[in-house]
Chain A
Amino acid sequence: MDQPQEKPEPVKITITLPTNAYFMSGIRDFTLSMIKNMTNFSEQWAYRFQSVVDELCNNAIEHGSNTKQEIKVSFINYPGDSVEIVVEDSGTGKTKMKAADLQKIVAERSKPGYPFTEIRGRGLAKIVAAWTDELQFEDLANGGLKVKVKKYLKNPALSVPSPSMSGAPDHIVLTI
């Protein structure tokens, strides 16, 4: 009799980085490489995750954390199921916002035909919300914000199976 297959354990990688956009090109390279090598998402989605991570981190850097502080970004791969990305700031930034405020802003700006008049403001509503299945904001005890997004691999069109993706993650390539 066949033994029931065990569900693979999620793999979590957390990176803490200084509040400075200087480091974002490295985080984008890491995201692209990780999605391509550790998940079953297609290359198109690897690029999309790259944008999602970049936009979330830029918001945390610009609004959520003062210079000389840090932000934290976590990648959680649920093999064959989904990828979750969590970005946390320290709540020391110049424009303090609560989770409820951000939820309201995203809902407003996601409406079709919303008139964007500023240079900024499209990232969360037009990119992050469009390219994820779940988008949650949470107030942290330290006054910071946690933004959690999740994308499910439920649609077969999203994935391109690769022989190297059958088991545990084999490698991540970091380009510095």
Chain B
Amino acid sequence: MAQITITVEDIASSVPDKKIKLLKFAGQLDESNVDDKAKEIYSIIDAVPQGLFLIFDFEKLEYMNSKSIGYLTDWYSKLSEKKGGILIANARPNITDILQVVGITQLVPCVGSVDEAKIAVMK
């Protein structure tokens, strides 16, 4: 079975109506684990009523399948409805490649580092 860990950190925000969390992914997101992990992300989204921005640090994410991408678009939609969003940082070339072919990079911004993502959120 593929292993995946997601660690969550709060990031100090200089913008009062924006709450930022950094989620670090390590391992592989696939059919064997994505449904369970998705529940954890939905809990984080549901716990904040407005203005939540999630920065996904994909530096150590080795693989994601189409279902993971389906969840990603759903999380993005839910956060956008509540004036929030998602940014992806540090994705490996194979991850960027699959996000691009599915067309998600037109929806969810992908940046080179977590610092860039923080700056983009706090603009």
Nearest CB of chain B from residue A43's CB, rounded to whole Å: 9
Given A116-B70, A120-B66: A127 in contact with B98 (beta carbons within 8 A): yes
- A80 and B28 CA atoms in complex are apart in Å by 31
Cβ-defined partner of B65 (8 Å) among A22, A44, A58, A131: A58
Given A25-B32, A131-B101: A120 in contact with B65 (beta carbons within 8 A): no
Q: Does B30 contact A (CB under 8 A)?
A: yes
Nearest CB of chain B from residue A121's CB, rounded to whole Å: 7
Closest to B77 in A: A117
Q: Does B103 contact A (CB under 8 A)?
A: yes
Q: Does A51 contact B (CB under 8 A)?
A: yes
Apart from A51-B66, A54-B30, A116-B70, what are 8 other A-B pairs with CB-CB below 8 Å?
A22-B1, A25-B28, A47-B94, A47-B97, A58-B31, A120-B70, A123-B66, A126-B102
Write 26 A-B pairs (CB below 8 A) sorted by A numbering: A21-B30, A21-B31, A21-B32, A22-B1, A22-B32, A24-B31, A25-B32, A28-B63, A47-B93, A50-B94, A51-B65, A54-B30, A54-B63, A54-B65, A55-B65, A58-B65, A118-B70, A119-B74, A120-B70, A121-B70, A122-B102, A123-B66, A126-B102, A126-B103, A127-B66, A131-B101
